[in-house]
Amino acid sequence: GNAGDAIADVKSIPIYSKPITITADGYAKAVLLSSEGTVIDEIAKDFSINLATGKKIKLTTTPAINFPGEGNAFGLINGVRSDRGANSTEWLGWQGADMEAVIDLGTPKSITSVSVHVLTARGSQPCKPQWLEVFTSIDGKNFIAAGKATNIKQDKLNMGTLDLLIRKTTAQFIRVKVKGFGKIPDGMPGAGNDSWLFLDEIQIR
In this structure, are 37 and 103 located in the same domain?
Answer: no
**pLDDT of 121 strictly over 90:** yes
Closest CA to 65 of 29, 92, 47, 26: 92
Average pLDDT for residues 108-132, to the nearest whole number?
95
Within a domain: 36: yes
**pLDDT of 7 strictly over 70:** no
Q: Contact 81/61 with Cβ under 8 angstroms?
A: no
In this structure, are 26 and 115 located in the same domain?
Answer: no
Average pLDDT for residues 92-106, to the nearest whole number?
98
Q: What's residue 11's pLDDT?
A: 61
Report angle CA 88, 92, 95 to the nearest 5 degrees.
Answer: 120
Domain count, the chain: 2
In this structure, are 40 and 125 located in the same domain?
Answer: no
Q: What's residue 62's pLDDT?
A: 94
Q: What's residue 34's pLDDT?
A: 72
For residue 33, give its domain range: 10-46
Query: How many CA atoms are closer than 13 Å to the CA of 79, on its beta-carbon side?
Result: 15
In this structure, are 104 and 176 located in the same domain?
Answer: yes
In this structure, are 108 and 20 located in the same domain?
Answer: no
In this structure, are 39 and 121 located in the same domain?
Answer: no
Let me know how long the chain is. 205
Q: Contact 187/125 with Cβ under 8 angstroms?
A: no
Q: What's residue 165's pLDDT?
A: 98
Task: Give the torsion through C-alpha atoms of 147, 163, 64, 128, to 10 deg.
Answer: 100
Within a domain: 166: yes
Q: What's residue 199's pLDDT?
A: 98
> Which CATH number covers residue 142?
2.60.120.260
Percent of the chain with pLDDT over 90: 71
Quick: pLDDT tens for 49-71.
999 999 999 999 999 999 999 99
